[in-house]
Amino acid sequence: MTVLFGQLFTGVSIGAVLLLIALGLALTFGQMGVINMAHGEFIMAGAYTTYVLQQVITAAGWSLLIALPVAFVVAGAMGVLLETLLIRRLYARPLDTLLVTWGVSLILQQLARDIFGSPNVQTRAPDLLTGNIGLPGGITVANNRLFILALAGGAVVALTVALRFSPLGRRIRAVVQNRDLAAVSGIATARVDRTTFFVGSGLAGIAGVALTLLGPIGPTMGTNLIIDAFLVVVVGGIGQLRGTVIVAFALGVLQATGEYLTTLSVAKVMVFIAIVAFLQWRPQGLFTLRTRSLA
């Protein structure tokens, strides 16, 4: 029972990490069809932001809290820069954006190496987040995992509310559903694209801050999770957040269960097979946005 709950919680928290990363991708990939391979490096930027802030503000708790908005802006700004310089030239060639952004990610990794050195850097987590909460029955729940879960939940709620009720959200939804019609209706699609990219990349920055609580902070930290996050978006379906949310948690639990029963390697392969099988059933993902576009 203890183990079962522990594994369930582990699965959910793997899902929360995936979700934090995939949310940003769901926005950029969903709206613009852009596969941003440099998304992982925006995560890295968020993590290094935490590190740099901690050099200035030594109190671990405060620096982490301040890092959240700062990382959002830093990663978001990098995203806007990337969008303006390169991606907007490539909207007609989405596959090429994949390759171009991969080149960008190489450059950013090397840049991180030259600025911060190739060894990993360390940040101190606030003491509150290194402990755990004991529940009856010997069950413990790690505080850092709870924090990330809350962060992911908060991001989903904030994003949903913004998309549904704010004027910007309405414009984003309009562009996702039918870009041409939105443009004809007087929406400045280029500006909406840029804003979406800012928010999507900014979310990667926040994911980076969260990851400092879990793993290493180094030049290649973004590459590990990016493929999984893309799979979440692909399986979840494009243009809607609920697919991404459901699939992120489902994959997390599937992986944790598979790993518990067998090994991590086998679990990863199992997840891949499950995804190919799933796409046989719903090739457009879990939820498909019905649009008027034929393409």
Partner 1 sequence: MTTVVRDPVTAADPAPEPPTSPAASPTRHRIRAAAGFAFGAALLFAVAPLVLSDFRLSLLAKYLCVAMVAVGIGLAWGRGGMLTLGQGVFFGLGGYAMAMHLKLADAGPGAMPDFMLLYGQLDELPLWWRPFASPWFALPATVLLPMAVAFVLGSLVFRRRVRGAYFAILSQALAAAMVILLIGQQGTTGGTNGLTDIQGFFGYDLDDPVNQRMVYFVIAGTLLALLAVARHLTQSRYGELLVAVRDSEERVRFLGYDPATVKLVAYVVAAGMAGLAGALFVPAVGIISPALIGIVPSIEFVIGVAIGGRATLLGPVLGAVAVAWARTALSERFPGTWTYLQGLLFVVVVAFLPGGLASLIGLVRRRDDDAARPGRFGRLRPRRREGTA
Partner 2 sequence: MTSIRGRRILAGALTLVAVAAMAACGSKTTDGNTAAGVSADISGDTVKVGLLNSLSGTMAISEVTVRDSIMLAIEEINAAGGVLGKKIEPVGEDGASDWPTFAEKAEKLIREDRVAAVFGCWTSASRKAVKPVFEKNKALLFYPVQYEGLEQSPYIFYTGATTNQQIVPGLDYLKAQGATSLYLVGSDYVFPRTANKIIKAYAEANGMKVLGEDYAPLGSTEFGTITNKVKSSGADAVFNTLNGDSNVAFFKEYKSAGLTAASMPVVSVSIAEEEVKSIGTQYLEGQLTAWNYYQTTPGATNEKFVAAYKAKFGADKPTSDPMEAAYVSVHLWKAMVEKAGAFDVEKVRGAADGITFEAPEGLVTVDGATQHIAKTARVGKVGADGLITEVWNSGQPITPDPFLKSYPWAGGLS
- Name the burial class of residue 46, with classes exposed (0-12), middle (13-18) and buried (19+) by CB atoms within 10 angstroms of its CB: buried
DSSP 178: -
* The only residue of 55, 58, 130, 284 in contact with partner 2, by rule CB under 8 A: 130
**Contact status: 131 vs partner 1 (CB under 8 A):** no
Residue 169 contact among partner 1, partner 2, none, beta carbon within 5 to 8 Å by kind:
none
| Residue spans of alpha helices (H) in the chain | 2-32, 39-56, 60-85, 94-116, 127-130, 143-165, 167-177, 179-184, 189-211, 223-236, 241-261, 264-281
Please give the Cα distance from 38 to 267 (Å, whole number): 26
Subset of 14-43 contacting partner 2 (CB under 8 A): 14, 17
**Contact status: 260 vs partner 2 (CB under 8 A):** yes
Subset of 16-75 contacting partner 1 (CB under 8 A): 29-30, 32-33, 35
**Contact status: 140 vs partner 2 (CB under 8 A):** yes
Element holding 140 (H helix, E strand): strand 139-142
Q: Which part of the chain contacts partner 2 (CB under 8 A), choosing from 64-72, 96-104, 136-144, 180-188?
A: 136-144
What is the CB neighbour count within 10 angstroms for residue 127? 10
Identity of the residue, 56 or 294, whose beta carbon is nearer to partner 1 in the bound complex:
294
Would you tell me which residues interact with partner 1 (CB under 8 A)?
Answer: 29-30, 32-33, 35, 86, 89-96, 98-100, 102-107, 109-110, 113-114, 179-180, 227, 230-231, 234, 238, 263, 265-266, 268-269, 272-273, 275-276, 279-280, 283, 293-295
